Structure 1
């Protein structure tokens, strides 16, 4: 077995994560977007480290549920049967640590760790009686709030701790602990007992943590205590899916990671293998105002969707349904389920209704029962009787419509999602407390909305019902602030084409000028995150261009981008019809790339500045030497080169694909690059051939990329002009 067997099927970002070198690049934070394959990365990382010679018993991987730990263990053991990796939950780890026997130094012998902490019996997790604890606590007459879960916390002052000591002693005497007692005890062991600290740090050389955004402060301290000042920490999380603040989870742990570990590295997993592009566009807009260093842009990485059904190829836009009352709303849902089931041969289990609160779930369950629609997880009695006359047994429905709270749906996915209750006081839920507390709650509600949106694979319906019974009363609800606003096209007034072009030119140049003037303040503010800011602004600029140009842009097969290894040189080629092709390409790639362009464009006010900023290569076609200029620019950029070239060399006046020049194909061959063709249809009438001010329909299709390195390996006599140029030309011509 070699590393390539483990790395097979991973995209470039996933590979970089699995191959991460802690000695060179210290601790690693992986910001894993929804549906980006984080579990696969974690398990393959463990497999890779075992392959590199790390003893399985020296690897510790922490998850939040026993089910997740079991799934990861099963995956790891497919390649390494019986590998002794400790894959467990935080509480399971803490209990294991307390039961371990710790060497007692010069005195010799060993003692169970729990005895070092004063336990008289082996700790045993049990259900606590809140009533008994509250009664005992009330006798102490404390002025601070103390919960049973935080009884062993060291956050209390000396006076409070002294009063709590009898309650703690009772737990130490009986060994009857709650889960948080285990965590606090393990922390105390690491922070106060040098022998125990050294023992456990020696036991685990590498630490991996799943769902890092959901760990609470005590779990964070446990991880830090085990790690010490070592670099071997590999954590995966998504701050956009941090929805357990009410359980004590601290999103600050992931936001502060780079501060806590100064030399650490960050990798983003942004290729989503679950949802169609239009669902992801909506998801990306939810956090457009968050800090730039944590922002992610989800990109569709699966051409056929996770189900392969024709429904996925349609790339439907999310729909907003507005209903006056619940009866109207449920009728729409029932009709839609039946139509999609029959039209696309979907099973009942491919549908889900998501809600914010449990009492909403109960309503939709009863509504579906009234229409005789099966509900997943519900227990029913089989029809008929058994032969001996005994009533048929109860069975659990597996193929039924899922009705879930958004919290319960995390980690799941459905072909069709009806996201109900998108109104104020439901989604988002009602936020209480002072201004700071309300903002914190609202931020979590926004993340919860994101989780709901990203459960959808192919179809997403956002439901707003104006009136419904809630908490015993018929109430009116305002539209949720999270719902996207639909574009009002009635304000797009007609004008002569010449005036329209002047308006567009002034608007676009004004946009460029504004951000040029802001750069002296922007660059110092964003610092090392300036490039990420620039990428985002290029995308914003491109969307602004489409808006003022009145373009409706559709992009097909954007998932082909996921097949490109962006850590290697990439050359993108496309047909050329209009000046508008440049922002269209940016939006199609969802990345900033430099263009090979003629020097005369640099005379356009403000454009010259931005062309240099994004790495464009300006050539003088009249004087020659264009190939040398491109090669020199490529040499400076090395493996990071990403260049877009129009191989026709000039704009087409008819929309037909012209003859290709061979330069870009030679460059790709010289650099063992990826060649990515895209085809643009309908951009000619956007500017150069514009006849009116009506909206223009432009379509982009991303074609399958070519790995030039693999082509050369397969054919020793590979000639890019002979073998690649005509092939790419035909691909693009067929797509047009």
Structure 2
């Protein structure tokens, strides 16, 4: 068997068909979990190993640094060194930096790492609101206009055609002025943004024949992953790279189109064979990721979608049978979060790594309840979907401090020991904070750096602080974040491209799935696809849950999927030990002091808003804190694992006198009741 033949060994018939189609246009419609990355990297490696392609002639592009990194790793393992695998922006920036001095002259304008400051300045010039949420919405609209190639003067007509609503608080005319002001601010600063990288390269390739010819001589084979997410601007760039040639392979799944709000469209994928009538089409439908039970739910979701059935891929499960998919109803969001935390704890105790469990939700605002519930249960977690790891302020500061320490004489100190010493000065401690939100996120980031320092000697024996700094430099350049060992909390959008052994899809209710502002049939169907993406992240265990709080009802997408008796699950759950609400009344939603809505889970557990003074004896609260600290030290666990501050506040305010009353306090489940009831009641009744 030759080296080239060995690459094809182990591929299924459809994957092998992809790998052997080396000439002409190729479209691969690949369902979730069907091994598309394996198929396309095997295709590239087979072409190189057989001598059909030169590795330097291949450009493979995708949409995230993580996906590009995975592609490069696989290609190296298959012996295809020299193949370029990059994101659209990375490939474009590399070319722009090379050609700009010779084609335009001078240095390329400075690339602004963040759009928000420039957008805020433009909004300020126009006396528009500049609070963080408004600036975020403005920036999203700026990005949409640029990737859909809409000039500011054409904005009003473009949003009307697209059925798109301008950012909150603005009309089309005001948004047009904002787009113009943004361009003026950039020009005054001598800066470009990430979309400009594509815009400028498109212009350069279209207007300078010598530049276009140079790029086309370099690259003659193109592979584009996640083609359903291509924007008009990216497609224009791809056309210019390709020229009049047809050696293009595109891979995608129209059922995973979830970024239309950013300008992505599946039209190029679905219309590929109209543009290239000679194209070969291969469908990958064998699902190697998920159990038949999970696959059945995924297929069921798409079966109920309107539109041509030929555009949808029916997955065929290849894995052995697994547990039934669970559908769970709860009284309110707090009970739902408690149930998820208790199930996560059960999975971890049974041997599932915390990093192989995910809680997925529609909006980032839903994360707080699950942060608090997991903290109550003593389960580590990590938030995904915010800033990239190495762009977080605390990580950048820590990186600089570690580099400074290495240069000032500590470079030869052991990596783990030195990292702890340096990061302690930034607020890191061995004990996790009992709070959630930004404080917890900061601690998790720094803790991930400490763990990386501890693990480094396994790959770099005798690793020193200097080695750690070098490792961080390399990882930052590749956006290769260290793994955080905890349950993943992520929005459905942020979960795209990832997978876990166990997935909890939470808040599956009308108003969230589909989201309330999905008013058109097209928008509603994108919400269905978003849920489909969430379902197909699960390998083995999948749970879908919702609460009846505030009159909500389960999502319409679950109609016909959940068993007829699922609605009665709420009543039976306590008997099975699956719902830790334990008969508690729903948590209050308004503050009794000022009448303001209680906006966070911590406020609802305490029963008042943060602005109102506590109604408990503060000396009692301090005694409870002292007791908690003693328990934590005895058990060598963080204090919040015993009880959170919100639970202590509720104890001090409500003063339960027996176990029955104690069990009604939010944050005290059966296991904590058994472990701590006697001690905490002793503190409460000592007077």
Cα offset for 1:356? 0.9
Identify if the C-alpha distance between structure 1 residues 172 and 365 changes in structure 2 by more than 3 Å, giving closer, same or farther.
Answer: closer
Q: Distance in 1 between matches of 2:421 and 2:268?
A: 60
- Asked if the contact 2:29–2:282 (Cα under 8 Å) also holds between the matched residues in 1, the reply is yes
Cα offset for 1:146? 8.1
* Pair 1:242 & 2:324 matched: no
- Asked if the contact 1:152–1:168 (Cα under 8 Å) also holds between the matched residues in 2, the reply is no
Specify the alignment match of 1:63 in structure 2.
Answer: 62
Specify the alignment match of 1:133 in structure 2.
Answer: 122
Identify if the C-alpha distance between structure 1 residues 49 and 92 changes in structure 2 by more than 3 Å, giving closer, same or farther.
Answer: same
Q: Distance in 2 between matches of 1:420 and 1:276?
A: 20
Listed as ranges, the matches of 1:270-669 within 5 Å are 270-288=285-303, 289=305, 290-303=307-320, 313=321, 315-342=322-349, 344-376=350-382, 392-393=429-430, 395-396=447-448, 398-432=484-518, 438-467=520-549, 475-485=550-560, 486=562
Q: Distance in 1 between matches of 2:215 and 2:56?
A: 12
Out of 40, 49, 52, the position equivalent to 1:51 is 49
- Asked if the contact 1:121–1:175 (Cα under 8 Å) also holds between the matched residues in 2, the reply is no
- Asked if the contact 2:515–2:527 (Cα under 8 Å) also holds between the matched residues in 1, the reply is yes
- Asked if the contact 2:333–2:369 (Cα under 8 Å) also holds between the matched residues in 1, the reply is no
Cα offset for 1:44? 1.4
Unpaired segments of 5 or more residues in structure 1?
103-110, 140-144, 304-312, 468-474, 490-736
Q: SS where residue 482 of structure 1 aligns?
A: helix
Q: Distance in 1 between matches of 2:110 and 2:492?
A: 33
Q: Distance in 2 between matches of 1:416 and 1:146?
A: 35
Listed as ranges, the matches of 1:115-194 within 5 Å are 115=105, 120-126=106-112, 127-128=114-115, 129-134=118-123, 147=142, 150=145, 155-156=150-151, 175-194=190-209
Identify if the C-alpha distance between structure 1 residues 165 and 131 changes in structure 2 by more than 3 Å, giving closer, same or farther.
Answer: closer
Q: Distance in 1 between matches of 2:380 and 2:324?
A: 27
- Asked if the contact 1:422–1:463 (Cα under 8 Å) also holds between the matched residues in 2, the reply is yes
Identify if the C-alpha distance between structure 1 residues 91 and 321 changes in structure 2 by more than 3 Å, giving closer, same or farther.
Answer: same
Q: Distance in 2 between matches of 1:445 and 1:146?
A: 20
Out of 231, 238, 244, the position equivalent to 2:246 is 231
Cα offset for 1:376? 3.8
Identify if the C-alpha distance between structure 1 residues 431 and 257 changes in structure 2 by more than 3 Å, giving closer, same or farther.
Answer: farther
Specify the alignment match of 2:103 in structure 1.
Answer: 113
Work out the number of aligned pairs and report it. 441
- Asked if the contact 1:325–1:466 (Cα under 8 Å) also holds between the matched residues in 2, the reply is yes
Q: Which structure shows the bigger proportion of residues in strand conformation? A: 1
- Asked if the contact 1:43–1:72 (Cα under 8 Å) also holds between the matched residues in 2, the reply is yes
- Asked if the contact 1:352–1:404 (Cα under 8 Å) also holds between the matched residues in 2, the reply is yes
Cα offset for 1:170? 8.0
Identify if the C-alpha distance between structure 1 residues 466 and 114 changes in structure 2 by more than 3 Å, giving closer, same or farther.
Answer: farther
Q: SS where residue 381 of structure 2 aligns?
A: coil
Out of 40, 43, 50, the position equivalent to 1:42 is 40
Cα offset for 1:377? 6.0
Cα offset for 1:441? 1.5
Look at both structures and tell me which one has the larger radius of gyration over its CA atoms: 1
Specify the alignment match of 2:98 in structure 1.
Answer: 100
Normalising by structure 1, report the TM-score: 0.55
- Asked if the contact 1:31–1:268 (Cα under 8 Å) also holds between the matched residues in 2, the reply is yes
Specify the alignment match of 2:232 in structure 1.
Answer: 217
Cα offset for 1:9? 1.7
Deviation string 1:710-734 (CA, Å, 9 cap, x unpaired) is: xxxxxxxxxxxxxxxxxxxxxxxxx
Q: Distance in 1 between matches of 2:346 and 2:203?
A: 59
Normalising by structure 2, report the TM-score: 0.58
Q: Distance in 2 between matches of 1:57 and 1:165?
A: 41
Higher relative contact order (CA 8 A, sep 6+): 2
- Asked if the contact 1:57–1:85 (Cα under 8 Å) also holds between the matched residues in 2, the reply is yes
Q: SS where residue 147 of structure 1 aligns?
A: helix
Unpaired segments of 5 or more residues in structure 2?
129-139, 157-175, 385-393, 395-415, 431-445, 452-483, 566-687
Identify if the C-alpha distance between structure 1 residues 7 and 114 changes in structure 2 by more than 3 Å, giving closer, same or farther.
Answer: farther
Q: Distance in 1 between matches of 2:141 and 2:359?
A: 38
Specify the alignment match of 1:698 in structure 2.
Answer: none
Identify if the C-alpha distance between structure 1 residues 413 and 196 changes in structure 2 by more than 3 Å, giving closer, same or farther.
Answer: same
Identify if the C-alpha distance between structure 1 residues 207 and 175 changes in structure 2 by more than 3 Å, giving closer, same or farther.
Answer: farther
Q: CA RMSD in A?
A: 3.5
Cα offset for 1:157? 8.8
Q: Distance in 2 between matches of 1:182 and 1:113?
A: 15
Deviation string 1:19-61 (CA, Å, 9 cap, x unpaired) is: 1142xxx311111111111111222122112123222111111
Specify the alignment match of 1:80 in structure 2.
Answer: 79
Q: SS where residue 31 of structure 1 aligns?
A: strand
- Asked if the contact 1:114–1:123 (Cα under 8 Å) also holds between the matched residues in 2, the reply is no
Q: Which structure shows the bigger proportion of residues in helix conformation? A: 2
